[in-house]
Amino acid sequence: MPAEPTERWAMVTGASSGIGRATATRLGKLGWNVAIHHRQSATLAEEVAGLVEQFGRKAKVFQADLGDADAVHTLVERAWSDVGPLGAWVHCAGVDLLTTPEARWPAEKKLELALRVDLMGTFLACRDVGDRMRRQGNGVIVTIGWDQVATGMDGDSGQIFAAVKGGVTAFSRSLAKSLAPEVRVLCVAPGWIKTAWGDGASSAWQRRAAEEALLKRWGLPEDVANTIGFVLSDDASFLTGQTINVNGGVVTT
């Protein structure tokens, strides 16, 4: 019988900020020990570890560049050797093409980066993790998609994210078929979530984000984290191969 969450570890990639930070904190509150991944934000990752430990749970920080295939495999190997078999892998890591210097790159260069980190990183990590979980007989993998994959969005960023997150979404469905029944795989697809970009978005974007949602507000990282906490729980034990939109009711079809 699988161990209870209080005995198990979950890895959250991209956990130093945004949705990853909120997810790691939420899982600690729900009784998970949390492995916290970051690429270059060690101080922020240690802060998240402290938040998890405030709930009486264990936390361990891991560093890796998930745009590097060798680093991806090394991260998975280190996670299993350092903290033992993982019960959950939540792959939040992704590039920020909106608030970083990369926002000024040409579209082709931004696409190459997003494909390498968001799609290839997800693909390699989750396949490796999935094989290990299937051998141990249990586990849940959560990937992060995008709710507007189904409808598209104008502009370079819309085209890039649709292409990359569309790949993540389709891959997640196929991985669920490959790993069932031992391992569940879910894709959580956020809508307008107020992370770093949302905090500084123009008034026009502020209005658009609120008006497109039936609930008439931005989503928060905690809204996504709460959904992830649910899909990792036994209450969601009959869910796999699904894409779950967390978008306040935006019509996507």
pLDDT digits (tens, 9 = 90+) for 162-215: 999 999 999 999 999 999 999 999 999 999 898 877 777 778 878 888 888 899
Quote the pTM value: 0.93
At the second CATH level, the architecture of 5-246 is 3-Layer(aba) Sandwich (3.40)
Percent of all residues in the chain with a pLDDT value above 70, rounded to a whole number = 96
Q: How confident is the model at residue 1 (pLDDT cuts 50, 70, 90)?
A: very low
User: How high is the mean pLDDT of the chain?
Assistant: 92
Domain parsing of the chain, residue ranges: 5-246
pLDDT at 70 exceeding the cut of 80: yes
Q: What are 135's two structure tokens?
A: 């051998």
DSSP summary character for residue 2:
P
pLDDT digits (tens, 9 = 90+) for 91-130: 999 988 777 787 889 999 999 999 999 999 999 999 999 9
5, pLDDT greater than 60 = no
Average pLDDT, integer, range 17-46: 97
Give the type of residue at 128. Answer: D
Work out the pLDDT band at 2, boundaries 50, 70, 90. Answer: very low
pLDDT at 3: 44
Phi, psi of 86 (to 5 degrees): -90, 140
Point out the least confidently predicted range of 73-82, 143-152, 222-231.
143-152
154 pLDDT higher than 90 = no
> pLDDT exceeding 90 applies to what percent of the chain?
78
| CA distances to 53, 63, 91, 124, 240 from 127, in Å | 29, 19, 12, 5, 16
Beta-bridged to residue 190, according to DSSP, are: 246
* pLDDT of amino acid 232: 98
